[in-house]
Amino acid sequence: MKVSEIGEFGLIARITSVINKSSAKNSTARRNLLLGIGDDAAAWKTTNSIQLATTDILVEDIHFYLGYTNWRDLGWKALAVNISDIASMGGIPEYALVSLSLPGFIEVADILSLYKGMLQIANEHGIAICGGNISSADKIIINITLTGKASGKKLLKRSTAKPGDLISVTGYPGLSDGGLRVLKTKLQVEPEDRETLIGAHLRPTPKVREGITLVTQGAKTAIDTSDGLLADLAHVCEASRVSAILYESSLPIHPLLKKYFGAESIQMALSGGEDYELLFTATPELMDKVKGNLGCLTTVIGEIIAGSPGVVSVCSTTGKTIRLDHKGWDHYKPPS
Amino acid sequence: MKVSEIGEFGLIARITSVINKSSAKNSTARRNLLLGIGDDAAAWKTTNSIQLATTDILVEDIHFYLGYTNWRDLGWKALAVNISDIASMGGIPEYALVSLSLPGFIEVADILSLYKGMLQIANEHGIAICGGNISSADKIIINITLTGKASGKKLLKRSTAKPGDLISVTGYPGLSDGGLRVLKTKLQVEPEDRETLIGAHLRPTPKVREGITLVTQGAKTAIDTSDGLLADLAHVCEASRVSAILYESSLPIHPLLKKYFGAESIQMALSGGEDYELLFTATPELMDKVKGNLGCLTTVIGEIIAGSPGVVSVCSTTGKTIRLDHKGWDHYKPPS
């Protein structure tokens, strides 16, 4: 059955039913929700706190390709990238609004799968999907806005890195890029390796718990790695008016990146996007304290230094320092 | 200068500069804003209250045509339609996040005009534009999410209409449709008439103050007229599990609709969309009290009756009652 056969309101009714059926009922966000889908705006109760909000748009054939992803994974990822933005502030995600633009020939079952993917990760984080809208379009456009709140009175920001801070990253940068290359090039990889690589690209795990731990223990500076390690570090350095140096020899390179991409894996770890890991800075003393408390692989990869705002240099394994001016993924100027 | 020449980050820098320069500084929302554009999420302080959030996507050649609107008016309208959703809850709009997808050949000056239009209406309502994102796309896509808060402890909803309630509408339904027809058909109209008609379509005025007055004085039920009078009333009747009857003879028909569209003006008032007026119900006693306090044209046009959920009938000037099953504007099933 196609979307055009049941129309906008038929589709909304089915989506609402899936949300009501599959939403975890016991989260704080759900308990405070006063009005979900079905009125002009969603409404929820809030107390004295710091509210957070982020928004991300995914456009078919620009941000995703239906040839590479199934609908459920697409739903997961569309919400995951927003959760990651809240995580990088040290916040707790709460309410999601989903704007969907779709051609009429899309299958209703596919849209319900999309929502099931969103609901799966929403339930893991206690998020209530409480609103949105549907319209027609030539291509699929998914825009999610996610609100949240600070876990206490502080936030992790981009603008607070100081010379002398160490720089750490969670997980394995570049792993998502590895998955994308497997999807794009039909590279021959063993089945379980394929699952790890593609999984990193299609179903990233936002680091909410880790963000809360960081801000609770006194860290001030973080960003999530969506544009790539170098690019995201450059964003932090620009906002903080500092420079940074990364040590190539310290980069955590996933064994599968080495196995399938060899020497190229270094470049993938530095520039590959969409990992949705946390990149953060802290004084050496604080870094020593928090690193072990995050409960996930965390690697010190460099340090913040005084210098031109936004400049990131990489010290290679041969000791040669390369100053990079790459400012990050730009939709209108993709890196060559 | 084109967007592709300065890239995503060049564009964001220019947009941020326009927002910083042109935002009214003295609104409550601006004072409570902790982090605007430039971090992973926006952040603001909130107190014990009911939060509201709504989202709307505008897609080029589906929701708007650059041949009909200039960029400044487009910015105004993109935010206005969201403000109207908050108004119809009796809420106060606060924070806006703007997702923009654009082809690289768009002129930077046009995008800055778009933001100037948004900022103009944002400033009128004390709204802070505090975040968003930019990406490339084949067509222009504008998705705005607007948050707000209840003005007190109550909201206007769709689900609270009761048999015996009178139904009123603010302003002149169909006027926006008149403007759209002038734009579409190149109908010959006198210059000042043209301004009134086109203005209603391109620069609608959301009824925030009126919504707050309604909820403060005890009204419970409202919707904004975006899909058309009949369709929006059907939404209310469906949510409230009631029917409604409208009196054709009571409909406020704008003199210009009569002048240029004659007998067709009735149909335009009943079905024309995008007026962004308030359609609300109240007991006869309450209606009598609130009607005079809204400070704008408000007309009683019908009443809520017991009956099948969602059914709206129109009693014509000849006394004939027509039962309508039209459920409203549907993106996949436009009315014939």
Q: What is the pLDDT of residues A284-306, one digit of tens each?
A: 999 999 998 999 999 999 999 99
B262–chain A nearest CA distance, Å: 32
- Mean pLDDT over A184-213 rounds to 96
Whether A318 has a pLDDT exceeding 90, the answer reads no
Whether B139 has a pLDDT exceeding 60, the answer reads yes
Contact (CB, 8 A) for B301 and B167: yes
Confirm or reject contact between A41 and chain B (CB < 8 A). yes
For residues A57 and A100, give the distance between their C-alpha atoms in angstroms, rounded to a whole number. Answer: 10
DSSP state of A184: H
Contact (CB, 8 A) for B96 and B128: yes
Whether B326 has a pLDDT exceeding 70, the answer reads no
Question: Residue B90 — left, alpha, or beta (φ > 0 → left; ψ -120 to 50 → alpha)?
Answer: left
Q: List all residues of chain A from 191 to 220 with a beta carbon under 8 Å from chain B.
A: none
Percentage with pLDDT > 70 across chain A: 96
What is the band of A253 on the pLDDT scale with cuts at 50, 70, 90?
A: very high
Task: Output the pLDDT for position A324.
Answer: 66
Task: Output the pLDDT for position B324.
Answer: 66
For residues A146 and A164, give the distance between their C-alpha atoms in angstroms, rounded to a whole number. Answer: 34
- In the three-class reduction of DSSP (H, G, I as helix; E, B as strand; rest coil), residue B128 is classed as strand
Cα→Cα distances A117→A15, A112, A141, B292, Å: 12, 9, 16, 50
Confirm or reject CATH 3.30.110.30 for domain B166-324, answering yes or no: no
Task: Output the pLDDT for position B295.
Answer: 93
The pairing of beta strand B128-136 with beta strand A49-59: unpaired
Confirm or reject contact between B1 and chain A (CB < 8 A). no
Task: Output the pLDDT for position B221.
Answer: 98
- Mean pLDDT over B295-320 rounds to 93
Token pair, residue B170, equals: 């603010």
Confirm or reject contact between A88 and chain B (CB < 8 A). yes
What is the band of B296 on the pLDDT scale with cuts at 50, 70, 90?
A: very high
For residues B288 and B215, give the distance between their C-alpha atoms in angstroms, rounded to a whole number. Answer: 15
CB atoms within 10 A of CB A164: 13
Nearest partner of A173 among A46, A265, A65, A105, judged by Cα: A265
Q: What is the pLDDT of residues A257-273, one digit of tens each?
A: 999 999 999 999 999 99
Task: Output the pLDDT for position B151.
Answer: 93
Q: Measured on CA atoms in the order A139, A145, A146, A152, is the torsion positive or negative?
A: positive
Contact (CB, 8 A) for A85 and B41: yes
Is A137–B62 a contact, with Cβ atoms under 8 angstroms apart? Answer: yes
- Mean pLDDT over A133-143 rounds to 93
Whether A218 has a pLDDT exceeding 60, the answer reads yes
Backbone angles phi, psi at B220, to 5 degrees: -115, -25
CA angle A161, B40, A111 (to 5 degrees): 155
Nearest partner of B197 among B217, B223, B177, B213, judged by Cα: B177
Which sequence spans correspond to the domains of chain B?
Answer: 3-150, 166-324
Partner residue facing B157 (CB), from A39, A51, A224: A39
Contact (CB, 8 A) for A234 and A312: yes
Contact (CB, 8 A) for B175 and B257: yes
Cα→Cα distances B2→B16, B133, B135, Å: 17, 18, 14
Nearest partner of A210 among A260, A278, A276, judged by Cα: A278
For residues A176 and B14, give the distance between their C-alpha atoms in angstroms, rounded to a whole number. Answer: 31
**Chain centre to alpha carbon of residue A149:** 17
Whether A61 has a pLDDT exceeding 50, the answer reads yes
Task: Output the pLDDT for position B322.
Answer: 77
Nearest partner of B97 among B128, B60, B136, judged by Cα: B128
Token pair, residue B27, equals: 């609104």
- Mean pLDDT over A205-217 rounds to 98
What CA dihedral angle connects A68, A72, A74 and A75, to 10 degrees? 180
What is the band of A95 on the pLDDT scale with cuts at 50, 70, 90?
A: very high
Q: What is the pLDDT of residues B158-210, one digit of tens each?
A: 999 999 999 999 999 999 999 999 999 988 999 999 999 999 999 999 999 99
Backbone angles phi, psi at B90, to 5 degrees: 75, 25
Confirm or reject contact between B336 and chain A (CB < 8 A). no
Nearest partner of A312 among A301, A327, A333, judged by Cα: A327
Partner residue facing B97 (CB), from A39, A145, A158: A145
Confirm or reject contact between B107 and chain A (CB < 8 A). no
Q: What is the pLDDT of residues B196-224, one digit of tens each?
A: 999 999 999 999 999 999 999 999 999 99
For residues B135 and B147, give the distance between their C-alpha atoms in angstroms, rounded to a whole number. Answer: 22
Task: Output the pLDDT for position A329.
Answer: 56
Q: What is the pLDDT of residues B98-125, one digit of tens each?
A: 999 999 999 999 999 999 999 999 999 9
Chain A partners of B45 at a C-beta cutoff of 8 Å?
A: 48-51
Q: Residue for token digits 């919504």?
A: B211
- What mean pLDDT value characterizes chain A? 94
| Architecture in CATH of B3-150 | 2-Layer Sandwich (3.30)
- Mean pLDDT over B5-12 rounds to 92
Confirm or reject contact between A78 and chain B (CB < 8 A). no
Q: CA-based diameter of chain A, in Å?
A: 64
Helix residue ranges, H only, chain B: 3-22, 28-32, 71-87, 108-124, 175-185, 191-202, 208-216, 229-240, 255-261, 264-271, 284-291
What CA dihedral angle connects A317, A322, A327 and A329, to 10 degrees? -40
Confirm or reject contact between B153 and chain A (CB < 8 A). no
- On the CB side of B114, CA atoms within 13 Å amount to 24
Q: What is the pLDDT of residues B14-29, one digit of tens each?
A: 999 999 999 988 899 9
For residues A302 and B208, give the distance between their C-alpha atoms in angstroms, rounded to a whole number. Answer: 51
Contact (CB, 8 A) for B75 and B118: yes
What is the band of A326 on the pLDDT scale with cuts at 50, 70, 90?
A: low
Is A97–B131 a contact, with Cβ atoms under 8 angstroms apart? Answer: no
For residues B61 and A229, give the distance between their C-alpha atoms in angstroms, rounded to a whole number. Answer: 38
What is the band of B316 on the pLDDT scale with cuts at 50, 70, 90?
A: confident
- Mean pLDDT over A141-156 rounds to 96
Nearest partner of A108 among A7, A19, A17, judged by Cα: A7
For residues B109 and B2, give the distance between their C-alpha atoms in angstroms, rounded to a whole number. Answer: 8
Q: What proportions of chain A, in percent to the nearest 5, are helix, strand and coil?
A: 40, 25, 35
Nearest partner of A75 among A115, A130, A27, judged by Cα: A115
Confirm or reject contact between A134 and chain B (CB < 8 A). yes
Whether A114 has a pLDDT exceeding 60, the answer reads yes
Chain B partners of A85 at a C-beta cutoff of 8 Å?
A: 40-41
For residues B154 and A209, give the distance between their C-alpha atoms in angstroms, rounded to a whole number. Answer: 35
**Chain centre to alpha carbon of residue B61:** 19
Task: Output the pLDDT for position A331.
Answer: 67
- In the three-class reduction of DSSP (H, G, I as helix; E, B as strand; rest coil), residue B310 is classed as coil
Q: List all residues of chain B from 303 to 322 with a beta carbon under 8 Å from chain A.
A: none
For residues B246 and B229, give the distance between their C-alpha atoms in angstroms, rounded to a whole number. Answer: 10
- Mean pLDDT over A92-96 rounds to 98
ipTM of the complex: 0.93
CB atoms within 10 A of CB A153: 8
Whether B336 has a pLDDT exceeding 50, the answer reads no
Task: Output the pLDDT for position B289.
Answer: 95
Q: Measured on CA atoms in the order B36, B37, B39, B42, is the torsion positive or negative?
A: positive
Confirm or reject contact between A325 and chain B (CB < 8 A). no
Is B43–A223 a contact, with Cβ atoms under 8 angstroms apart? Answer: no
Is A42–B34 a contact, with Cβ atoms under 8 angstroms apart? Answer: no
Question: What contacts 24+ positions apart, CB below 8 Å, involve B191-194?
Answer: B193/B256, B193/B259, B193/B260
Contact (CB, 8 A) for B280 and B168: yes
